[in-house]
Structure 1
Amino acid sequence: MLKKLSLSPVIIAVILSFVLLLWLFSGDNYGAKNEAPEAQKLPQQQLALVETRWSDAQPYQATQVAQGQILPWRSVSIKSQQAGTVEAVLKQQGDAVKQGDKLLQLSNEGRSALLAQAKANLTLRNSELDSAKALGKAKFLSATELTRLQSEQAKAQAELITAELAISQRSPEAPFNGIVDRRHIEVGDLVQVGSELMQLVQIDQLKVTAQIAQQDIAALSVGQNVTLRLLDGRTLNGTLSFISYAADNATRSFYIEVTVNNPELLRIAGVSVTVEVQLGDIAAHRISPALLSLNASGQLGISAVNEQQQVKFYSVTLLSADNDGAWVSGLPQRVQIITQGAGFVQPGSTVRVAGAKP
């Protein structure tokens, strides 16, 4: 009779574990052969979050700004046309003068005698010529002699004009209404031809000159209003009166002139001034300067969100800026400007908007 085979509990546990592993392995291998593996789930990309506010364009008075200089409307240096000694100074520094007023008087230096001689000589030549014409009609005078006498008369007339001019130039006259701004002579001074006597200026009207860059000249036209800002804060109003037709060869800028009335005779001729030419109203947006940025090309602009919730970069022109904000042009009439998060997004990317503040 056969003996019963007895197994210990430990051996039985090992055998059962081995059988269980074989069953599990065979089941996974079968499933892998008959079923496709489940697609791997990737984490959904999170859209960038930005804050925005709506901005509407407003009329803005555009200006073209340049640095200029205020000049007298007229300025002339009165110089001596005759040599002599100053006998009298008829107008002092600061005196107002009218056109034709005598400014000073030089010594005679024998000019009156020369004038009397020229008058007498002309009278003689006229008499000789009249007699010669009578003889010529009677065929008693040759044509050559008549021509010589006519020449002598013309010479005598020229000498008389020169003598009269020398007398008038003893007392130089004001060429226009103005003010004596400088006096360079005193009574008793000996002056020569060309010596500076006085400086005469007209400042009831002023002329402002400036240079405008070639890329900005197309926006200017004669007749536009101009605001002038002095260094002390005062402002004046003028009119653009001249624009040069050719640019300066060295600077490629255009010369302009502005006419300014100065009825109060303010002492501002010769000073520097900021010239602001009024160009008319344009559509512009008032923004914080902190919203301005540069794109990859170095263009100044603003980042905004369009209707498709995509970021768009608008190139803008800075019109003016102060402590309270900046005015820019180049944006649509109504635009949703990114106020927070613009530095973390790129043009063309889709974003989530936290809130569009009106």
Structure 2
Amino acid sequence: MRLVPVLMALAVCVGLWFWIVPANGQQVAAVDAPAAGADPRGEAPAVKVVAFRSQAQDVRNAIVLRGRTEAHRLVEVKAETAGLVVSDPLRAGAHVQAGDLLCRLDSGSREAQLAEAQAKLGQAEADAEAADTLAQRGLTAENTAKARRAALEAARAAARAIQLDIERLEIDAPFSGVLETDSAEIGSLVRTGDVCATIISLSPIEIVGFVPESEVDELSVGMPAHARLVDGRTISGEVAFVSRSADQTTRTFRVEIEAPNPDQGVRDGMTAEILIPVASDQAHLAPQSALTLDDSGVLGVRTVAEGEGGAPEARFEPAEILREDEDGIWLTGLPAEVAIIYVGQEFVADGRALDVTWKDWDGAQ
């Protein structure tokens, strides 16, 4: 009775063997057979891209800074003596020339003081002359003559001090410019050190910026420079000063550019973008969209290269950004002649066959 189950198990195993082995053979054959429509040589189909041919150009490199305009001179003209203002005030915005009167102060009792000092000076001169004569004759001591001469010098100094004080009653413009504030009002009391008027000179105008330490060695006094103001105006001048000491906080160096401003139309404190041309480089102009990264994260572009048999294929070329402008980006580190892919570059790798559509590209589109 035990033989029957054994025979039945054997029959089931034989049946399963005949059912599984032929199926596996068909699957292996299906895997080994080439797919319908595939390249029998195993090559991937060409990828469609858009590219343009570029020739390297001489590009004037430049250092670009953010800065501001500053007055060539700005001075608070202060009184050197005290007194009441007796002149009519000049209003803010008035143009003045060097030496023009800004404020006149009342002389008060200074004329009387000067007359007294001059009288004392005359007496001292007579005393000194008489003492010298007597000393020469031996009728008085030499020390007496020296004391009289000392008194004479003191009288001269006193008279001169009063004369200088009278001259300071008229406060003049130290240079040509424009009044930034009204001059002192008539009848107001001005003390020593009080401001009579603020005068500003905007011709020439100075544009001040701060250059990083990595670029400061490229600058020197006398280099041409350009600035674009917030209102769109452009002015040109030259570098007048490059600081030798860095700002302790920002580690940048102050740069001053001097530019003509004959009509004084450029004001003090305007924001400006400063461009200072430096050495030129060979570069390619390309759209920003052409930039990509390779597998190691290096920045560059995909280009069209000649593969086996002359067929176009993709090739990665590392590049560096020289600068950006309105038309695109300028790239260095590429061959003098190169075909840059700017549509479809993200879908190809080195050596991938390409189906290239050529288009001209010469600026932002």
TM over 0.5: yes
Query: What is the CA-CA distance between 1:244 and the residue it aligns to?
Result: 0.9
More divergent stretch after superposition (268-277 vs 120-129): 120-129
What are the superposed Cα offsets for residues 32-89 of structure 1, whole Å, 9 maximum, x if unpaired?
Answer: xxxxxxxxx9974649757444321112232221121112211111112222111113
Contact 2:321 2:329 in 1 (8 A): no
Q: Aligned to 1:99, what secondary structure does the other structure show?
A: coil
Which residue number in structure 2 is paired with residue 251 of structure 1?
250
Q: Aligned partners of 2:299, 2:106: CA distance in 1, in Å? A: 71
Query: What is the CA-CA distance between 1:157 and the residue it aligns to?
Result: 2.4
Q: Aligned partners of 1:191, 1:344: CA distance in 2, in Å? A: 80
Q: Which amino acid aligns with 2:352?
A: V
Q: Aligned partners of 2:137, 2:167: CA distance in 1, in Å? A: 43
Greater Cα radius of gyration, structure 1 or 2: 1
Q: Aligned to 1:240, what secondary structure does the other structure show?
A: strand
TM-score (norm 2): 0.77
Which residue number in structure 2 is paired with residue 286 of structure 1?
285
1:154 partnered with 2:153: yes
* 1:132/1:329 CA distance change after superposition, 3 Å: farther
Which residue number in structure 2 is paired with residue 77 of structure 1?
76
Which residue number in structure 1 is paired with residue 56 of structure 2?
57
Which residue number in structure 2 is paired with residue 121 of structure 1?
120
More divergent stretch after superposition (141-150 vs 244-253): 141-150
1:326 partnered with 2:325: no
Q: Aligned partners of 1:141, 1:342: CA distance in 2, in Å? A: 112
Which residue number in structure 1 is paired with residue 207 of structure 2?
208
User: In structure 2, which of residues 320, 323, 338 is the aligned counterpart of residue 316 of structure 1?
Assistant: 320
List runs of 5+ in structure 2 lacking aligned partners. Answer: 1-33, 35-39, 308-312, 361-365
* 1:300/1:126 CA distance change after superposition, 3 Å: farther
Which residue number in structure 2 is paired with residue 4 of structure 1?
none
Q: Show the 5 A alignment for 1:217-236.
A: 217-236=216-235
Q: Aligned partners of 1:298, 1:170: CA distance in 2, in Å? A: 74
After superposition, the CA RMSD in angstroms is 2.9
Query: What is the CA-CA distance between 1:162 and the residue it aligns to?
Result: 1.5
Q: Which amino acid aligns with 2:91?
A: Q
Q: Aligned partners of 2:164, 2:116: CA distance in 1, in Å? A: 14
* 1:189/1:129 CA distance change after superposition, 3 Å: same
Query: What is the CA-CA distance between 1:212 and the residue it aligns to?
Result: 1.0
Q: Which amino acid aligns with 1:343?
A: E
Q: Aligned to 2:171, what secondary structure does the other structure show?
A: coil
* 1:188/1:207 CA distance change after superposition, 3 Å: same
What are the superposed Cα offsets for residues 228-260 of structure 1, whole Å, 9 maximum, x if unpaired?
Answer: 211111111221111111211111111011111
Aligned residues: 316
Q: Which amino acid aligns with 2:276?
A: V
* 1:257/1:164 CA distance change after superposition, 3 Å: same
Contact 1:208 1:258 in 2 (8 A): yes
* 1:102/1:340 CA distance change after superposition, 3 Å: closer
* 1:164/1:294 CA distance change after superposition, 3 Å: farther
* 1:312/1:263 CA distance change after superposition, 3 Å: same
Q: Which amino acid aligns with 1:68?
A: G
Q: Aligned partners of 1:102, 1:119: CA distance in 2, in Å? A: 28
Q: Aligned partners of 2:175, 2:295: CA distance in 1, in Å? A: 60
Q: Show the 5 A alignment for 1:165-180.
A: 165-180=164-179
Query: What is the CA-CA distance between 1:156 and the residue it aligns to?
Result: 1.9
More divergent stretch after superposition (266-275 vs 306-315): 306-315
TM-score (norm 1): 0.78
Q: Aligned to 2:80, what secondary structure does the other structure show?
A: coil
List runs of 5+ in structure 1 lacking aligned partners. Answer: 1-40
* 1:340/1:139 CA distance change after superposition, 3 Å: same
What are the superposed Cα offsets for residues 182-224 of structure 1, whole Å, 9 maximum, x if unpaired?
Answer: 1152111112222112111112321111111111222222222
Q: Aligned partners of 1:120, 1:68: CA distance in 2, in Å? A: 61
User: Kindly, what percent of the aligned residue pairs are identical?
Assistant: 27
